[in-house]
Chain A
Amino acid sequence: AQSVAQPEDQVNVAEGNPLTVKCTYSVSGNPYLFWYVQYPNRGLQFLLKYITGDNLVKGSYGFEAEFNKSQTSFHLKKPSALVSDSALYFCAVRDGGNTPLVFGKGTRLSVIA
């Protein structure tokens, strides 16, 4: 069975600094990986996904994620954090077609002005 792990419950970063939110995965076949963001009292919003091809995936709001097969990681990154990036971030993996996404427990990002 597939799974993802987000080792950090909380990440704090100063505005303007680069940010990284970590995710590692475990799948039996090829990984299909996703990042979502959740703002307070809102649903989850899709940020980006890795299917195949380039290991650096670009997504919404200036976010990108780096896929590393040897380390089974899919870390979310942004070169310069904004206060408005403060939210809850979820990594997810999908195995078969039309099967549910399996989510990590989430990482709360706090960007301090």
Chain B
Amino acid sequence: DAGVIQSPRHEVTEMGQEVTLRCKPISGHNSLFWYRQTMMRGLELLIYFNNNVPIDDSGMPEDRFSAKMPNASFSTLKIQPSEPRDSAVYFCASSSRGGRNTEAFFGQGTRLTVV
């Protein structure tokens, strides 16, 4: 398996522009998580899905952020409009149905820079 695949790896955009980050989870995994990593706040959970259904989006910082999972093999995280403080590394992770003792597997991340 190729693991969790995220695209793009790097994104530089101007303030006010729309940004879409993409994630392909590991085949057969039923849970998907979006995290954000910054120096100041470390790893923050933004939102997670079980069986393509959003379960908890309380970590999404503002209404400018939205996430979808239209099917089991694809998810997007969208920021519209983007702001410089959104600059961070965004990680997608997935895990299988094994329950609480199951580890999550992370993608390589998307480094977002908003100028």
Contact = CB atoms under 8 A, between A and B. Distances in A.
Interface of A: 32, 34, 36, 41-46, 49, 51, 90, 94-106
Nearest to A6: B42
B43 A90 contact: yes
Nearest to B56: A100
Contacts of A36: 106
A84 to B, nearest CB: 19
A100 B45 contact: yes
B109 interface: yes
B75 interface: no
B108 to A, nearest CB: 5
B76 interface: no
Interface in B31-56: 31, 33, 42-43, 45, 48, 50, 56
Secondary structure class of chain A's binding surface, majority of residues? loop
B106 A44 contact: yes
Nearest to B49: A98
A42 B105 CA distance: 12
Across the A-B interface, give the 4 residue pairs with the lowest CB-CB distance, nearest first: A97-B99, A43-B106, A51-B101, A44-B106
B64 interface: no
B95 interface: yes
Contacts of B14: none
Contacts of B45: 100, 102
A20 to B, nearest CB: 21
